[in-house]
Amino acid sequence: MNFEEPEKERSFRGRQQLESELKRKGVDFIRFLDVSGLSEEVNRGFHKAILIGILLSRKYIINQLGTVPTDFYEFNEKEHRADELAEWTAEYLQKQGYNAFGQSEKNIGQNGCFNVETKTSVLPHKTIALLAGLGWIGKNNLLITEDYGCAFCMCTVLTDASMDVKTAPLVSPQCGECDICKQICPAHAIMGNTWSKDRNRDGVIDVYRCQACLKCLFHCPWTVRYGKGINDAN
């Protein structure tokens, strides 16, 4: 006699299959989290989110420390790949009967999720990464993790899929007195202030002056540690 498989087991099995497929496609880390605490204007009415990340190679990081100008090839390639995989994940979930929205650059541009004038996104990937407990917002206004520094490209998917998620505590900034990103910024866009929930983006960086040169990404001490393999024992 066949019995219907419990919903919880079906969803968990589907999640495992999705994780395996994303890793096979080159994703290095995945987080599943609850975003129901955000307003519906921000989460678009979706209560779950999936964060996917692709690491920049150590060789690329080390090479950029002594390269002028920056070689953007690997960064752009992996940014594009993360976007592609977010869109693929949304389609995968839709085929399973769920609603999903991949927050790729193309999609957020077409759906009014990005304000070109203010250079703001309704729900940035790094906000979702913060909620996932992946890391903290650095003085360079980038998401920083202990294991990889800023050396990764991210994209996110919003969904109503039934899946188990964990709530992670907010990681406090660990930049301390370091202001290398401020010193290295050729546009003098970084102010050297520590991020907090009460300090908005404009108190951390002047995005209108930022040249997106990525020097603050490569020279962040946490990124350098990753590039040199110092964190391998952790």
Domain for residue 223, yes or no? yes
Domain for residue 1, yes or no? no
Kindly list the distances between the CA atom of residue 11 and the CA atoms of 8, 31, 157, in Å, as whole numbers in the listed order.
5, 15, 17
Domain for residue 149, yes or no? yes
Contact, 199 vs 193, CB < 8 A? yes
Domain for residue 69, yes or no? yes
Give pLDDT, residue 232: 62
Domain for residue 87, yes or no? yes
Asked if pLDDT for residue 115 goes beyond 90, the answer is: no
* Average pLDDT over all residues of the chain: 90
Give pLDDT, residue 165: 84
Instruction: Write out the residue range of the structural domain in which residue 105 sits.
Output: 7-233
Asked if pLDDT for residue 233 goes beyond 70, the answer is: no
Give pLDDT, residue 162: 85
Tally of domains within the chain? 1
Contact, 190 vs 205, CB < 8 A? yes
pLDDT in tens, 147-193: 999 999 999 999 999 888 877 899 999 999 999 999 999 999 999 99
Structure tokens at 80: 């594009």
Domain for residue 2, yes or no? no
